[in-house]
Structure formats: C-alpha cells, structure tokens
Amino acid sequence: MEKTLVLIKPDAFRKHYSGDIIKHYENEGLKILAMKLMKMDEKIASKHYAEHIGRPYYDDLMGFMTSGPIIAMVLEGEDAIANVRRINGKTNPAEADEGTIRKLYAESGSRNAVHASDSPESAAREIAIFFNASEILD
C-alpha cells in the first residue's frame, strides 16, 4: 500500500467543500491514516513549497496558502499517489475531467482546492512536514 499527502486548501475550506472532498477519496477506497485542521504558517509553507522559491508566483502562493485553515491528510491505498492525482484532476479546473475534485470545487489554476504529492519521494518528504510518526495510524 502506498501513502500520499493531500491538502485541502484555504479556498475549498472557506467554501465548506471539505466534507465533499474527503468523501471523494473515501468513495474511491482510500483510507485516511491521519488528518488535521491547521493554519499553515510561513515556516511550514516555505518547507512545503521549497522547490518554488524564487519563481514569479511564489509570493502569491505563500500568501494564499497561509491565508486561512487547511486540512492536511495522509491517505493510503493501492497506487494512492496516481489515484489521488486522477481523482483531483488537472491543476486548471477548466481542463479537468468532469467529476474530478478540481472540476467541481476549484476556482482557478492557482486556487485549485487541493494539493497532492506527485511521487513517492515527495509523499515521504511532505508527510513528514505535516505529521510525526505517532499521528499516522496505520
């Protein structure tokens, strides 16, 4: 079984979409191993988005992700990383398939409701930013 990190971003949380988004993952057979409601601070955001430092959109991304509560989750399932990315849909909701989370709940390419790890290495790094081992119930 594979683990991945999912973040329900401030835009989706603010619009009360969190329960619907979580249900999408559960309906696809993914198991929640950890979940917390939190406000991402600059320290956590800069660790999580370290590879984006210096890019033109970095300041906007940091401002957005620290603007309100998020829900961080560790999900587990067979091919969890690829499956979650399929369930989420393309980054730009205008290009996302019907029924995907981003098609249903995202505002734009930069306000796109959810984040998900893109590789096993990213998942391991990202999970460790948001959770310690005792918080993950597998």
Cα atoms in the Cβ-side hemisphere of radius 13 Å centred on 117 = 25
Check residue 138 and give its pLDDT.
Answer: 85
16: annotated active-site residue: no
pLDDT tens digits, 74-92: 999 999 999 999 999 999 9
Question: Does the structure show a pLDDT above 90 at 125?
Answer: yes
Average pLDDT over every residue of 108-131:
97
pLDDT tens digits, 61-76: 999 999 999 999 999 9
Check residue 52 and give its pLDDT.
Answer: 93
List the CATH number of the domain containing 34: 3.30.70.141
Which residue among the candidates 16, 24, 52, 115 is catalytic per the annotation?
Answer: 115
Query: Which domain covers residue 87, as residue numbers?
Result: 2-135
| Number of domains the chain contains | 1
Check residue 66 and give its pLDDT.
Answer: 97
